[in-house]
Amino acid sequence: MRRTVRRLALLAVPLLLGGCNLVVLNPAGDVAQRQGDLVMIATGLMLLIILPVMALTVLFAWRYRAAHRDAPYDPDWDHSTGLELVIWAAPLVIIICLGALTWAGTHLLDPYRPLARIAPDRPVPASVEPLEVNVVALDWKWLFILPEYGIASVNELAAPVDRPIRFRITATSVMNSFYIPALAGQIYAMPGMETTLNAVINRPGEFEGFSANYSGAGFSGMRFRFHGMTEQGFEGWVAQVRRAGETLGRTDFLALQRPSQNAPVRHFSAVDPDLFSAILNMCVEPGRMCQHDMMSIDARGGLGVAGIGSVRRLVRGGAADDGAERPAGSMVASICAIPTFPAARPERAAVSQMRLTGAGLRPPGLERSLPLAVSQLPPGPES
């Protein structure tokens, strides 16, 4: 009875596997197809060693089993030049081939590299501009902004067939991973940073996209639909989004980014053109200093002690949709001009140290916040 059950189970395996959609090895995009080919070639090269080793393991176990009295017995054997050459030369050749293949594939399929072709023997036409898509990973949903059309959508994206797509990807809180298996490989989305992915879809269809990096309670529902469409179908989808009537400004985005699970598809017919730059530079909140301004100031020497007064607490906080408390943080609320110093500085005269000043805002009550009175500070260069 047990043997019959085992045989039936073995016969059922091909039937079960027949329903699997091996999208990674049968994708709809040229970049993903080349990545799948790379996986198959590397697997084949490794099987050149794995299969003979597995076969020889079974052969040796059978040939030199205890019950086989006719097997040769040579207890003094210790070396075979031919066997050593096979054992070391064959893996070495395969490792060299794998290294060359990986090196070439890594540069050829660099996600930051603009596409040179849309399919085998089909270079990108010189007149075709890539479709730019700004991607924002939220908790726990995806926001897609199409600046060329001035529209945006949540958990849904469409693109025309055979047109290169350039994704600019960032996040608002924790790190996520943007992944559409039918289109291209996964790439990370990180707050305050931008990653880029170039890809193309080669046939119409509806495909799944998701986050491949665990990011909290709503991670399992952080999925979206990607539609590959004809040019006419894509124009129809854009027209449908424009009929939504919702707008996406900075205030709307602050409400949208609140954590939510299994968020439905939403369309926005108008988007603030500077919204993605503000998200990337983490300055969507009114009055908050952007990262690029902060880095520019830091590159020119910073604000020093005089900038302490421009840091204030965020008003944001309270309970999220899942009931978890979100503590309020702090932010830099002022943007101050840094004076330009002359190339050759003249001889400096003695400067009074009665009050400490700086290049930024003058913090009120600075004297009371220091452990020593300002008048007790040792003399030093001008601040």
User: Which CATH number characterizes residue 178's domain?
Assistant: 2.60.40.420
**Residue 300 in domain:** no
Position 382 pLDDT exceeds 60:
no
pLDDT tens digit string along 204-230?
999 999 998 888 888 888 999 999 999
Based on the fold, state whether residues 137 and 240 are members of the same structural domain: yes
Contacts of 9 (CB under 8 A, 6+ apart): none
Residue 83 main-chain phi, psi, to 5 deg: -65, -40
Instruction: pLDDT band for 370, please (50, 70, 90 cuts).
Output: very low
Q: Compute the Cα dihedral for 169, 174, 175, 179 and give only its sign.
A: negative
Based on the fold, state whether residues 264 and 173 are members of the same structural domain: yes
Based on the fold, state whether residues 97 and 170 are members of the same structural domain: no
Q: What is the pTM of this model?
A: 0.71
User: Do residues 194 and 187 make contact, with C-beta atoms less than 8 angstroms apart?
Assistant: no
**Residue 294 in domain:** no
Average pLDDT in the chain: 79
**Residue 134 in domain:** yes
**Residue 368 in domain:** no
Tally of structural domains, the chain: 2
Give the per-residue pLDDT at 12: 57
Identify the domain containing residue 53 by its residue range. 21-66+84-109
User: Do residues 30 and 202 make contact, with C-beta atoms less than 8 angstroms apart?
Assistant: yes
**Residue 372 in domain:** no
**Residue 347 in domain:** no
Distance (Å, whole) CA 286 – CA 274: 13
pLDDT tens digit string along 156-194?
999 999 999 999 999 998 899 999 999 998 999 999 999
Preceding amide of 140 cis, omega within 30: yes
What own/partner pairs with CB < 8 Å and gap ≥ 24 does 36-41 have? 38/101, 38/105, 38/109, 41/101
Would you give the DSSP letter of residue 383?
-
Based on the fold, state whether residues 38 and 160 are members of the same structural domain: no
Based on the fold, state whether residues 138 and 274 are members of the same structural domain: yes
Structure tokens at 258: 């609140």
Give the per-residue pLDDT at 329: 60
User: Do residues 109 and 31 make contact, with C-beta atoms less than 8 angstroms apart?
Assistant: yes
**Residue 287 in domain:** no
Distance (Å, whole) CA 219 – CA 206: 21
Based on the fold, state whether residues 173 and 257 are members of the same structural domain: yes
Would you give the DSSP letter of residue 329?
-
**Residue 123 in domain:** no
Distance (Å, whole) CA 317 – CA 259: 12
Instruction: pLDDT band for 298, please (50, 70, 90 cuts).
Output: confident
